[in-house]
Amino acid sequence: VIINSTITPNMTFTKTSQKFGQWADSRANTVFGLGFPSEQQLSKFAEKFQEVKEAAKLARDRSQEKIETSSNHSQESGRETPSSTRASSVNGTDDEKASHGGSAEAQLKSENDKLKIALAQSSSNVKKWETELQTLRESNARLTTALQESAASIEHWKKQFSACKEENDQLRSKIEELEEQCNEINKEKERNAQLSRRLQELETELQDKELELEELRKQGEVIPQLMSECESVSQQLQDAENKNKDLEEKVRTLRTEVEESKHRQTNLKTELKNFLDVLDGKIDELHDFRQGLSKLGVDN
């Protein structure tokens, strides 16, 4: 987009935001605005605008100085001519007076024409300046309304910014709560993983215990047989003990009888000795059998 705007000394470039600026063109009766991608480019444009504005101001001042010098020069020449004519009229002859008077009148007419032209130009300049002043006033009014609108928009954006900030704070608090919940969920997951590992360990231990219980059950099935055998052995042992008691009793009786009949039954010593040897062997066998039974009972 091409913007055709002549920069005058009375223009002002206003930064309405960090990336937007505007100025009023009184000749075009338009307010121009430009947006920039960065604040640095906006400041560069404002500096260049100020340079051009200063150059236009210098050019205007020079033109005014030229007009003033030309008008002053014409006034001075108009003031000097009557004195010269007076001097010539006083010192010269009548012909000289007439010639000098005609030239003075022509000079005065030319100077008056110049003054009229300068006055017309100054009046036209005054009208132009008045129109420019009016346009500047209108542009200033537009700028004030634009500034008011921009201030209202800034207030609106500030409110929206504060609302967005509050919403952002709320979202941050929610995010923190969700992070805490996620941490708790992760902790629960770790606990569940530990519990699952512990459950697997308990299942393996239970399987081992079941195997041991099965072995104990098998051993329990064998125990009644062993108990029955042990009872039979204990019965046999009891019978053997009873027999042993009987034999011991018989031995006592026999010994008494032997003692009593030593003198009478000397011939029966050899037989009794043999009988005693046999009896001792039986007793040893019974004793060994008893020890075996006792060992068997202890092992059970």
Short-list 131, 137, 122, CA closest to 27: 131
Edge-first strand listing for the sheet containing 20-25: 14-15, 20-25, 30-35
Residue 202 pLDDT: 92
Residue 83 pLDDT: 41
**26 CB-contact burial (10 Å; exposed 0-12 / middle 13-18 / buried 19+):** buried
**138 CB-contact burial (10 Å; exposed 0-12 / middle 13-18 / buried 19+):** middle
Is the Cβ–Cβ distance between 28 and 5 less than 8 Å? Answer: yes
Residue 73 pLDDT: 58
3-state DSSP percent of the chain in helix, strand and coil, to 5: 85, 5, 10
Q: What is the pTM for the complete model shown?
A: 0.28
Is the Cβ–Cβ distance between 52 and 65 less than 8 Å? Answer: no
Short-list 11, 8, 39, 5, CA closest to 23: 11
CA distance linking residue 25 with residue 132, whole number of Å:
10
CATH of domain 12-66: 2.30.29.30
Residue pointed to by tokens 């043999």: 274
**197 CB-contact burial (10 Å; exposed 0-12 / middle 13-18 / buried 19+):** exposed
Segments of the chain assigned E as strands: 14-15, 20-25, 30-35
Short-list 243, 241, 216, 220, CA closest to 293: 241
Query: Rounded to an integer, what is the distance from CA 196 to the centroid of its chain?
Result: 34
Q: Is 22 helix (H, G, I), strand (E, B) or coil?
A: strand
Q: What is the pLDDT along the chain (300 residues), one digit of tens a residue?
A: 677 888 888 888 898 888 899 888 877 788 888 889 999 999 999 999 899 888 888 888 888 777 777 666 555 554 544 443 433 333 444 444 445 555 777 777 777 777 778 777 767 777 777 787 788 788 778 888 878 887 787 888 888 888 888 888 889 888 988 988 888 898 888 889 999 899 989 999 998 988 988 888 887 777 777 788 888 888 888 888 888 888 888 888 878 876 776 677 666 677 778 888 888 888 888 888 888 888 877 665
In the chain, the largest separation of any two C-alpha atoms, in whole Å, equals 233
**24 CB-contact burial (10 Å; exposed 0-12 / middle 13-18 / buried 19+):** buried
Rg (CA), the chain: 72
Residue 201 pLDDT: 92
